[in-house]
């Protein structure tokens, strides 16, 4: 499976210190050795590698995500250079979809004018209203970030810039109320929302995911959110996790790496040019995302031979016997690959969130089966 999504870590530092951040607060601390900002040499090499990969595999579209850290710390002029360099290198037969993923605190009219000029979308990470957001999404001094995020979102969702809004990304916090979080985010009228499970694994468990597998705190949280979203009198926004589960239950394929068995098509380029697997692997252990490759010497095709890439492209063949015997394994896909890690046995385990995933998927399955049966009876 060719790589279609390239995450460029244009800046390796952040002006926030979110307590759950896999980059700064979990197992892999390699960010400390990374250059602060990607050099122009690395930008040029990355653009050349993306263009070559797209041409070799005759891709009609690739997605390039400017990421961090906080990418806006690199400055608007540098992000402009990165975007234009990639676009200039990639051939006319391949569309380049550009997105910048930001915490929203540094958004300005000048930067958003640049995004309009580039046709670059903006995704914002925010965890709800001020009380919920500021519990975990904090500055380096421990203070809350919501006031600055709110100002950035107010600008981004103004009439002038609203078409740039790609969506909102929220990390699930069991200490918050899911309906309150959802409705606070919904007030910004985003086209889509992503709700992410906090990164953890069998060796370093996520908050609230105890050894007692009869409890399903994350399914309870997400299940309540699903019912609020699904039973709304009209469609309010897309929630990608729920939509992808529904698609999988109906026999389709997932477009998300976090759910289902679709092959991964994501590569990450760090500020020093090293090519890495999905960066959430940094939550498992130091070096978990590494491939030993760099854009300064290697083509992206060279990553096809890496065992970690292979494991995330071969679907059910990468699952253990316990997962293969589960009736929903085609839907959950064994869970997100980083969440399967256990020291001593690697990633061939079910997800640490297994009880929650099974509970949530079966809840959604019951709900849509009930509605399908109702349609059948009425016809």
For every residue of the chain, which 3-state class applies, written as one string? CCCCEEEEECECCCCECCCCCCCCCCCCCHHHHCCCECCHHHHHHHHHHHHHHHHHCCCCEEEEEEECCCHHHHCHHHHHHHHHHHHHHCCCCCEEEEEEEECCCCCCHHHHHHHHHHCCEEEEECCCCHHHHHHHCEECCCCECHHHHHHHHHHHCCCCCHHHEEEEEEECCCCCCHHHHHHHHHCCCCCEEEEECCCCCCCCCCCCCCCCCCCCHHHHHHHHHHHHHHCCCCCCCEEHHHHHHHHHHCCCCCCCCCCCCCCCCEEEECCCCEEECCHHHHHCCCCCCEEEEECCCCCHHHHHHCHHHHHCCCHHHHCCHHHHCCCCHHHHCCCCHHHHCECCCECCCCCCCHHHHHHHHHHHHHHHHHHHHHHHHHC
Token reading at 161: 């810039």
Burial zone of 234 (CB within 10 Å; 0-12 exposed, 13-18 middle, 19+ buried): exposed
pLDDT of residue 154: 98
| Confidence tier at 374 by pLDDT (50, 70, 90) | confident
Beta-ladder partners of 122 = 100, 165
For the segment 212-259, what is each residue's pLDDT rounded down to a tens digit?
999 999 999 999 999 999 999 999 999 999 999 999 999 999 999 899
Where in the chain are the domains? 5-340
The pLDDT of 99-109, averaged and rounded, is 98
Candidates 3.20.20.70, 3.20.20.120, 1.10.3720.10, 3.30.450.70; correct CATH number of 5-340?
A: 3.20.20.70
Q: What are the backbone angles phi and psi of residue 326, rounded to the nearest 5°?
A: -90, 135
| Confidence tier at 54 by pLDDT (50, 70, 90) | very high
286 has pLDDT over 80: yes
For the segment 125-164, what is each residue's pLDDT rounded down to a tens digit?
999 999 999 999 999 999 999 999 999 999 999 999 999 9
| Element of type H or E holding 239 | strand 238-239
pLDDT of residue 23: 92
379 has pLDDT over 80: no
pLDDT of residue 269: 98
| Confidence tier at 176 by pLDDT (50, 70, 90) | very high
The pLDDT of 48-53, averaged and rounded, is 98
């Amino acid at each position: 499976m060719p790589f279609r999504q390239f995450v460029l870590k244009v800046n390796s530092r952040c002006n926030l210190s979110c307590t759950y951040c896999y980059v700064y607060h979990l197992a892999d601390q390699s960010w400390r050795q990374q250059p602060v900002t990607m050099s122009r040499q690395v930008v040029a090499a990355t653009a050349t590698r993306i263009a070559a990969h797209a041409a070799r595999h005759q891709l009609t579209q690739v997605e390039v995500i400017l990421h961090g850290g906080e990418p806006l710390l690199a400055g608007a002029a540098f992000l402009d250079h990165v975007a234009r360099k990639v676009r200039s290198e990639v051939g006319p037969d391949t569309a380049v979809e550009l997105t910048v993923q930001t915490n929203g605190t540094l958004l300005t009219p000048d930067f958003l004018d640049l995004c309009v000029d580039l046709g670059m979308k903006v995704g914002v990470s925010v965890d709800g209203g001020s009380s919920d957001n500021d519990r975990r999404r904090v500055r380096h001094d421990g203070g809350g970030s919501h006031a600055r995020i709110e100002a950035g979102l107010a600008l981004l969702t103004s009439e002038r810039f609203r078409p740039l809004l790609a969506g909102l990304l929220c990390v699930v916090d069991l200490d918050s109320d899911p309906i309150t979080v959802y409705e606070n985010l919904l007030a910004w009228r985003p086209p889509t929302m992503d709700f992410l499970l906090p990164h953890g694994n069998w060796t370093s468990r996520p908050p609230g995911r105890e050894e007692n597998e009869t409890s399903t705190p994350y399914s309870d949280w997400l299940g309540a959110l699903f019912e609020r979203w699904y039973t709304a009198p009209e469609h309010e926004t897309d929630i990608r996790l729920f939509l992808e589960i529904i698609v999988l239950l109906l026999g389709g394929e997932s477009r998300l790496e976090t759910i289902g068995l679709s092959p991964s098509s994501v590569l990450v380029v760090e500020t020093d040019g090293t090519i890495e697997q999905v960066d959430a692997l940094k939550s498992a252990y130091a070096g978990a995302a590494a491939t030993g490759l760099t854009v300064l010497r290697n083509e992206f095709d060279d990553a096809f031979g890496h065992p970690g890439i292979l494991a995330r492209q071969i679907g059910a063949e990468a699952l253990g016997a316990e997962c293969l015997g589960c009736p929903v394994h085609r839907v959950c896909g064994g869970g997100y690959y980083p969440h399967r890690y256990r020291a001593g046995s690697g990633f061939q385990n079910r997800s640490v969130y297994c009880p929650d995933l099974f509970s949530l998927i079966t809840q959604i399955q019951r709900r849509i089966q009930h509605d399908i049966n109702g349609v059948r009876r009425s016809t």
